[in-house]
Structure 1
Amino acid sequence: MVDLHQEFQNSGFFHEARIDRRSADALVGIAAGLAADGKINLQEAEFLKSWIETHLCHLGDPVVNILYKRLASMLSDGVLDSDESAELLDMLHQFAGLPVGSEQICTTPNSLPLDNPAPDLSWADRVFLFTGVMAYGPRKDCESLIVERGGLIGGSVSKKVHYLVVGSIGNDQWLHSSYGTKIKKAVELRESGVPIAIISEDHWQRVLFG
């Protein structure tokens, strides 16, 4: 599986020997502050990118690099669309949700209402929708893999969606997370007989990459 978890776990971001602790604490505080109102706008995203460039980019730390690279990708066109805003908010929730000193910055969702057994995946003319933060990379990159194989990307949970893919970097308490609404709606549709499958990113990646 193409996975960033090992980078997160081994990161020097949470070790005093590798980083200015005051800057680390400041970034956690900034992330928490930006995410506090439940939304991230373009100005806030640009501020965060600029702050990391000024204070932390020279460190070469995996956690900081992941956050910065995804920010840079999102802002490369000078726009922060609604999907990017939601993805960034998910990331900041996870980033600020653990205390400095934790050995793990993310937990794979393990109580999600995933289809069991996981279904076979078809690509051509199948509609995919992503929720949560993908370990593979920015959501647009994940969507490109679908489109390249003849699949389609949905705009919201509906009867037209065939697969809802739940990102691996998430919170066990899915119902209360920022992406819980999509999952709840998908469960309701599935229980009403709509053929929508809720799958993990792990399963999605296994089918993609073997």
Structure 2
Amino acid sequence: MSDLHNEFANSRFFNAARMDRRSADVLAGLAAGIAADGVVKIEEARFLQQWIETQLAHLDDPVINLLYQRIQLMLQDGVLDAEESAELLDTLRGFAGLKVAPSAHAFVESNTLPFNEPAPEIICECQVFLFTGTMAFGPRRECEQIVLERGGVIGASVSKKVNFLVVGSIGNEQWRHTSYGTKILKAVELRETGVPIAIVGEEQWQRALFS
């Protein structure tokens, strides 16, 4: 682990792993508290950003890194719009119960997620996509931009017009109780009535676009 501020490097009393784990546990509690009312305000996002900067000098934990980077990106224009607030809420809810992944782009998916079986072929051109959950690839806007560049369309909500619902790979096994779980449930309901909407994981989406 790197000591970003060089303040612990020569201390024989410093246990980086223990400190990181304790701080990560506190951060999980903060995330749960902020997400409890179902809304993330810009003041709360700024507080969380500053807390991570001051309390977690050691940012080798990939999940904490991801959370910190997302908050930085969302706040770089000084505004936390409704879409960013909703995405951050999903991220915090997932973080509060998330197991640490082995790498920043690891796929931590619940095997209870109702992905299409067999997995469908993913084609972007003229197809309507909708994203839900926290994407390991990057902020949702970046994922949507990639689809647009490949001739796809971004849906506004789960409907009969959507061809693919892509579920972010950094998720919580209790997906039914999260805000992004409601999108999955609605997609499942449509699929069961014969609507050709496919529910796919981010890993499959990345393979289709980048392999």
TM-score (norm 2): 0.81
Is 2:55 the counterpart of 1:48? no
Q: 1:46 to 1:103 in 2, by over 3 A?
A: closer
Q: 1:173 to 1:30 in 2, by over 3 A?
A: closer
Query: Do the aligned partners of 2:39 and 2:85 also contact (CA within 8 Å) in 1?
Result: yes
Q: 1:87 to 1:23 in 2, by over 3 A?
A: same
Q: Distance in 1 between matches of 2:167 and 2:205?
A: 9
Q: Which residue identity does 2:64 align to in structure 1?
A: V
Shift of 1:104: 5.0
In structure 2, the residue matched to 1:4 is none
In structure 1, the residue matched to 2:11 is none
Q: 1:25 to 1:184 in 2, by over 3 A?
A: closer
Unaligned residue ranges in structure 1 (runs of 5+): 1-15
Q: 1:139 to 1:96 in 2, by over 3 A?
A: same
Q: Distance in 2 between matches of 1:83 and 1:19?
A: 35
In structure 1, the residue matched to 2:164 is 163
Q: 1:63 to 1:173 in 2, by over 3 A?
A: closer
Unaligned residue ranges in structure 2 (runs of 5+): 1-14
Q: Distance in 1 between matches of 2:171 and 2:25?
A: 22
3-state secondary structure, aligned to 1:198: strand
Q: Which has the higher contact order (CA 8 A, sep 6+)?
A: 1
Deviation beyond 4 Å, 4+ runs, structure 1: 102-106
Query: Do the aligned partners of 1:109 and 1:169 also contact (CA within 8 Å) in 2?
Result: no
In structure 2, the residue matched to 1:133 is 134
Larger gyration radius, structure 1 or structure 2? 2
Q: Which residue identity does 1:141 align to in structure 2?
A: E
Deviation string for 1:92-129 (max 9, x for gaps)?
A: 1222225xxx6659841211221111111221221110
Q: 1:120 to 1:103 in 2, by over 3 A?
A: closer
| % identical aligned pairs | 61
Shift of 1:171: 2.1
Shift of 1:150: 1.2
Shift of 1:198: 0.9
3-state secondary structure, aligned to 2:16: coil
In structure 1, the residue matched to 2:17 is 18
Q: Distance in 1 between matches of 2:63 and 2:190?
A: 36
Shift of 1:78: 2.2
